[in-house]
Amino acid sequence: MESPRRIRAHPGWSGCLLWLRLGALVLGGLCCALLPAHAAVKEARILILNGTDPYLPGYLAFDSALRANLTKDAAWSIVLFSEALDGQRFAVEALEHEYLALLSKKYRALSIDVVVAVTRPALEFFVRNGERLWPGARVVYQGSGVGMAGHQMLPLHATGVLAPEDVEGTIALARRMQPRSRQMMVITGASDQDRRFEQLARKAVTGSAEGLSTEFLSGLPQAELVAAVAAAPPDTMILFLTQFRDRDGRPYTPRVLALEVIKVAQSPVYSISETFVGTGAVAGMVEVLEERGRLVAERVLDALAGRVPDPARAMHQIASRCVADARALKRLSLDASLLPEGCEIRFADRSIWDEYFWVSLGAIGVLAAQSLLIAVMRVQMRRRRAAEAEARKRFSEMAHMNRRVAMGEMSASIAHELNQPLGAIRNNAGAAELLLDADPPRLRDVKEILNDIKRDDQRASDIIARIRKMLVKAEFQVRDIDLNVAIDETTALLAEEAALRGVTIRAELVAGLPQVCADAVEVKQVVVNLALNAMEAMHDQPPAQRRLTIQTRCANDHEAEVSVRDSGAGIPSDLLPRIFEAFVTSKASGMGLGLAISRTIIETHGGRMRAENGPEGGAIISFTLPFAVAAPA
Amino acid sequence: MNANSPIVHVVDDDAAWRTSLERLLLAGGYRVALYESAEDFLAASHVEAPGCILLDVRMPGLTGLQLQKRLAEVRQVLPIVFLSGHADIPIAIQAMKAGAQDLLTKPVDKDVLFRAIEEALVRDRESRGAHDRLEALRSRLNGLTRSERQVFDHVVRGRLNKQIAGDLGITERTVKWHRHNLMEKLQVRSVAALVSLAEQLDMLGGRDRS
């Protein structure tokens, strides 16, 4: 049963708040400590007054560049405001009254330090109303420089960055790119802004006109314009300058219209706007908006600092830069080498290397690492093989020694076995001697004797040969062998030893046992080891009870099994799990290596050895050997 | 060779050895009998001809030493020369202690073999001779009458004629008469010879009754 909880305010809160307050204090203190030494960071208020649609891509790019550059100066803490007149689409003068009312209300209590007037309408608005709306504010102008020279009423200390509007340069660029072209199409709109550009174009064309036929499409409605462009012959040079309104007064977003034009154009389209060159125009002498933003920001900061500009250089005209679109060049099969030197080719097909630099680097790194790994592994493998060969050699030596020891253990029975035929030979020789001394010499008997001597000599040789086969120090030599035959040879080897110890050996060999792939000497060595162990184990049994059985059978469809069973007392249960370990033995003498070596031999052949106690009390050691795989017919 | 020539009995499980040995012995002028195993030898009926046994130490079934023991049990007295395939000292000592004539190692030099056989045959003759003599003595003893036998028993125990007469309830003269006859039958001329005879026949065991 739960104890009733005490009802009160959340226990942690007051504590939490206390910690928060403390934290804030500490943090505030830290901030103060970390701020730069001059505590006087001045606050500046900048108003960006855009005379047109501020969301045109060009102005967005410029705006972000401007902001980035303004905040770089750590001396100022800049607060940015922004107003838009959208003068292309809405008649500023008609709305002036309302604009004034709104703006004066907005900025009554707010003092602006610098106004950035973007486009001519904004500048003119500022000239008319700036004093009243934002007293004391300086102006930095950004926009077209056309007609600037004649302007008398520029505000005090006004500076500006003028757009290049390099129509002439763009036309020249077009003629470079299409040297054989004799046809030019210039697209402009019907608004004042548009007409201004038309004038620029006409002037430029008359300047460099030889052999050039120029068509001016001014203020065409979209459908007509698109049709005209589509119908233009392939090697035309199309100059899309600007179209804010067609002759019917319909408003356009120049960029959108340009896209439609570019879509149908079979000829290259050139432009003076950086943003158009990103959307399909081939190339142009443009104003780089990043640069514009940087330069305007410089002038704003100058104005904030109160620097007085040199009137002669107050208005700075940016140089136009050549920019080309590699995709459009490729699409229209234009030769990029015709571009002027230093032209910035954008959107170039980056090679795999460019495109995926880091990925490629990573891939190369991975490949290099892999190669290194493989090389290291190769070295390791070589070392391991060498080590394995060494180990095999050592084991071979040890196995050989084990064979010699086993034969040594059987030396009494070997001597015994040899002395039978040798004894018979001696007897026969003695008899022959006597028979030759008889009168007359019994030559026929002597001949018979000599035959017997030869036969017994062969017997002795066979015994020795059998032993020597076991003592061979050969390399591991695997062949297809008949296990039953090998077992028979082994029982022949062991016969004398068994007889000596009063042991009866019985071989139960299953008929038709398939051949196994093994080294015959080593297999026999294993059986000898096991048999000698077994005979030793039966030492204490009465002679009638000393029975050794060697059995072969098919263990399964891919292995043969040999088992050596004795009628001794069996393996003690505490020794049984360790019986195959080296130096484990229940014998008073001997090193206990025989079973370990035997098992290793079998395992090298791909078999297994196991030991267990049989139901009748003796031990059974058995091992498997894989059948030889029949060669494909 | 005649029916009483000594026979050399060869007991060995190795056929080649047996054959070669037979050849050698025949060439040396001996009569030979071959046996594949100790059991075969025991089973065979042996005419009591002189001879000796050439016995392999190690054989399957009954071993050479076991056969030696068996033969001793049935008082078969042919001398045994053991032949061994390898020098085994404990076995050798056991064999010699149990009364073997000799132990030779295979392969055996023929002169060594023949010498051993000869020594065995000599021993055999001697023991046969001794045996025969005892048998003769025994049969002579058996030829004594009851009374003669009684007198004999007392005489060899050192009893005087007078005492014997008293023991047996006969006259001293009768004692002298029996004494004369039994000594003639037993072919001895002195009491000492009588006692010796009794000793040989192992009749003097037990305490002197006098």
> pLDDT tens, A241-294?
888 888 888 888 888 888 888 888 888 999 988 888 888 888 888 888 888 888
Q: Other CB atoms closer than 10 Å to residue A632's CB: what's the count?
A: 4
Q: How confident is the model at residue A24 (pLDDT cuts 50, 70, 90)?
A: low
Provide mean pLDDT across the span A469-486: 84
Which pLDDT tens digit goes with each residue over A511-547?
Answer: 988 999 998 988 999 999 999 989 988 888 887 889 9
DSSP H/E element including A185: strand A183-188
Which pLDDT tens digit goes with each residue over A178-195?
Answer: 888 888 899 998 888 788
Which pLDDT tens digit goes with each residue over B5-47?
Answer: 889 999 999 999 999 999 999 999 999 999 999 999 988 877 6
Round to whole Å and give the CA distance between A52 and A82: 12
Residue the block writes with tokens 């009749």: B203
Chain A to chain B Cβ contacts (< 8 Å): 82
Q: Which of A533, A462, A539 is nearest to A493 (CA)?
A: A462
Residue contact A430–B110, C-beta within 8 A: yes
Residues 71-130, chain B, touching A (beta carbon < 8 A) = 83, 85-86, 105-110, 113
CB contact set of A51 (below 8 Å; sequence gap of 6+): A84, A85, A87, A92, A117, A118, A119, A120, A121, A122, A123, A124, A125, A143
Instruction: Record the tokens describing residue A575, joined without a space.
Output: 């020794």
Has the ipTM of the complex gone over 0.90?
A: no
Instruction: Record the tokens describing residue A48, joined without a space.
Output: 């960006």
Instruction: Record the tokens describing residue A493, joined without a space.
Output: 């080897």
Residue contact B106–A423, C-beta within 8 A: yes
Residue pair A619/A613 in contact (Cβ under 8 Å)? The answer is yes
Q: How confident is the model at residue B2 (pLDDT cuts 50, 70, 90)?
A: low
Give the type of residue at B132.
Answer: D
For the CA atoms of chain B, what is the radius of gyration? Answer: 24
CA A103, A109, A110: angle at the middle one, nearest 5?
A: 75
Shortest distance between the Cα of A557 and any Cα of chain B, in A, equals 40
Shortest distance between the Cα of A509 and any Cα of chain B, in A, equals 24
CB contact set of A623 (below 8 Å; sequence gap of 6+): A526, A561, A562, A563, A598, A599, A602, A607, A608, A609, A610
Round to whole Å and give the CA distance between B27 and B139: 40
Residue contact B17–A499, C-beta within 8 A: no
Q: Which residues of A touch B107 (CB under 8 A)?
A: 419, 422-427
Residue contact B86–A449, C-beta within 8 A: no
Residue pair A542/A511 in contact (Cβ under 8 Å)? The answer is no
Q: Answer whether residue A19 shows pLDDT above 80.
A: no
Round to whole Å and give the CA distance between A304 and A70: 11
Residue contact A423–B86, C-beta within 8 A: no
Q: Does A569 touch chain B (CB under 8 A)?
A: no
Q: Does B27 touch chain A (CB under 8 A)?
A: yes
Residue contact B20–A423, C-beta within 8 A: yes
pLDDT of amino acid B210: 43
Residue contact A459–B16, C-beta within 8 A: yes
DSSP A197: H
| B195 burial via Cβ count (<10 Å: 0-12, 13-18, 19+) | middle
Q: Which of A176, A181, A126 is nearest to A156 (CA)?
A: A126
The larger pLDDT score, comparing residue A145 to residue A148, is at: A145
Residue contact A430–B109, C-beta within 8 A: yes
3-state secondary structure of A585: coil
DSSP H/E element including B200: helix B191-200
Residue contact B14–A420, C-beta within 8 A: yes
pLDDT of amino acid A209: 61
Q: Other CB atoms closer than 10 Å to residue A79's CB: what's the count?
A: 13
Residues 138-197, chain B, touching A (beta carbon < 8 A) = none
- CA-nearest residue to A495 within chain B is B60
Question: Of B86, B108, B110, which is closest to A416 when you measure between CB atoms?
Answer: B86
Mark A419-433 as b/e (b = at least 16 C-beta within 10 Å).
bbbbbbbbbbbbbbe
Q: Which of A171, A322, A332 is nearest to A265 (CA)?
A: A332
Q: Which residues of A touch B105 (CB under 8 A)?
A: 419
Phi, psi of B31 (to 5 degrees): -85, 140
Q: How far apart are the first and last CA of chain B?
A: 55
pLDDT of amino acid A27: 59
Question: Of A438, A445, A456, which is closest to B16 when you measure between CB atoms?
Answer: A456
Round to whole Å and give the CA distance between A557 and A626: 9
For B52: left if phi > 0, alpha if psi spans -120 to 50, otherwise beta; the answer is beta
Interface test with B, best of A411, A425, A427, A444 (most B CBs within 10 A): A427
Shortest distance between the Cα of B99 and any Cα of chain A, in A, equals 23
Instruction: Record the tokens describing residue A525, joined without a space.
Output: 């060595």
Shortest distance between the Cα of B180 and any Cα of chain A, in A, equals 58
Residue pair A421/A456 in contact (Cβ under 8 Å)? The answer is yes
Residue contact B19–A423, C-beta within 8 A: no
Question: Of A434, A449, A500, which is closest to B58 when you measure between CB atoms?
Answer: A500
Residue contact B27–A435, C-beta within 8 A: yes
